[in-house]
Structure 1
C-alpha cells in the first residue's frame, strides 16, 4: 500500500504500490530528461525540482537536505 506523506502537499492519497509504479512508468515514457540510464539521485533531483516549480515554490525550502 502506498500512502502519500509529502510534507509540501498534504494529500494523504493512498493506492496499490504496483498501480502507482505503473502510473509513474507510463507518465515517464516520453520524458526527455529521464531515461533508463539516468542515476537515481538525478531522477530524484529532477522530480523534486518539477514538483516545487509546479506548486509555486521556485526554490528549495529552508533546511532542505535533498
Structure 2
C-alpha cells in the first residue's frame, strides 16, 4: 500500500477503486499476502472463539457498525 501511495505522489498515478468487502477466508486476500507469527496466532484464536460463540457479522451489520 505504501508503494501504491508513493506511486500516486511521485508518478501521478491514479488509484483504482476497489469495492470494500469482508474477508471471510484466506482466498479473499492477495495471493502472496501473509500474516506475521503473532498475528496468525491471534487471528486463529479470535476466529475459534467467534465460531464457538456462533458470532457471525454480515456486511450490512458491519456497515451499520462502521458508520
TM-score, normalised with respect to structure 2: 0.32
Bigger proportion of residues as helix: 2
Higher RCO (Cα < 8 Å, 6 or more apart): 2
Larger Rg: 2
